[in-house]
Amino acid sequence: MEFIRRSLIHCKRRTHSIGTNSWRCNYSVKKEKVPLAEGPFPRRVVTGLQPTGALHIGNYFGVLRRCVQLQDQGDDLMLFIADLHALTTYQDPSALQDNILDVAASALAAGVDPARSVLFVQSAVPRHAELCWLLACLASHARLAHLPQYKERAQNNKEVGVGLLLYPVLQAADVLLYRAARVPVGADQLQHLQLCAQLVKTFHHRYGRLFPVPQPLLPEDGCDRLRSLRDPSKKMSKSDPDPKSRILLTDSDEVITLKVRKAVTDCNPKVTFEPESRPGVANLVLLHCLACDLLPEEAVEEADGLTTAQYKAVVARALCARLGPMRARALELRAQPRLLRDVLRAGATRARARADVTLHDVHAALGLAPGSADRTLRAANE
């Protein structure tokens, strides 16, 4: 854990330098050593993970691994724990606290480095909610009520909270607050990002160009197409009531092996990759591909001569080998809540300074509270 501690010291130093420079320094290429992506905007990647329970391998391969790759390529990564989004359904307060630390431990264990990237909790930066309101005033009710995720959740609930309707507006605020050019997400988030792009266009039309139009970064390796292990006609999902339907980052080798052994396939024992007609077997192939960085045809070739039952043992071994070291690191970190809180606190300080810069410009563009933005910014920089 020495690496995290060293990172934290380094990160405190950087926080200080952000705080004492004028706000323009945040965007200075020389200061942050980050190449520009779109005109005056930083090469910044922003994404959020909801703390609604342990992360599953789809979250890891789809979002976390991608974030770490981008960080390692020199992108300016901001990863936050979306606790405000989680509140659209009731969360037990103490479980929420635990879940936030679980996600933080998983992110660090996956390789997010607090010296280079900003890891924080959404609610620690009140500007998210503030920008959400300003964007809500630009959003059309009909458009929000028409989004498939809203319609689906509204259908399943007797009382539909306003938070559910505003969910994608808050998500747009998360991204625009940091003027992110790119957003790593699973395909299920595409519509939310389209709404975000639309809000940017409306904003530009009324007030001038202040944000880049954020581009979604979708996984190319099919990790957002992972199916439930119990019912391959459904997506692997955090909210599925059957815990055997998904593999969690916290699962032990025994649990992983059991879940893969029990995965529903079909009565043909041959291993093929036919996602349409044989989704259960294709899911095993996909898991094998993700665990070993293979293409589906390479995985099928490796399975040559094996029955699906024998192949399950190969897939389970590969997953255990891939996830084991990360799980051990996450457990070690999770046992140090104070360290995790320090990382999150330092991340929030840096995020707040960046958010203040954007809101300063937004206030000026909208003609809000003349002068107050300058004062807030000065306070942030002191």
Q: Binding residues for ligand TRP, per CB under 6 A?
A: 46-48, 50, 82, 85, 171, 174-175, 183, 185, 189
Nearest distance, CB of residue 47 and ligand TRP, angstroms: 4
Phi, psi (deg, nearest 5) at residue 119:
-115, 125
Cα separation, 152 vs 84, in Å, equals 20
Nearest distance, CB of residue 249 and ligand TRP, angstroms: 15
Q: Which among 4, 175, 191 has a CA at the least distance from the CA of 79?
A: 175
**Nearer Cβ to ligand TRP (147/175):** 175
**Nearer Cβ to ligand TRP (126/208):** 126
Cα separation, 70 vs 45, in Å, equals 8
The residue whose Cβ lies closest to ligand TRP is 48
The 10 Å Cβ neighbour count of residue 36 is: 13
Nearest distance, CB of residue 85 and ligand TRP, angstroms: 5
**Nearer Cβ to ligand TRP (218/292):** 218
**Nearer Cβ to ligand TRP (48/232):** 48
Q: Are 77 and 67 in contact (CB under 8 A)?
A: yes
Nearest distance, CB of residue 88 and ligand TRP, angstroms: 10
The 10 Å Cβ neighbour count of residue 381 is: 16
Nearest distance, CB of residue 230 and ligand TRP, angstroms: 22
Cα separation, 183 vs 193, in Å, equals 8
CA pseudo-torsion sign 63, 69, 72, 77: negative
Nearest distance, CB of residue 106 and ligand TRP, angstroms: 14
**Nearer Cβ to ligand TRP (57/373):** 57
- Helix (H, G, I), strand (E, B), or coil: what is residue 173? helix
**Nearer Cβ to ligand TRP (165/183):** 183
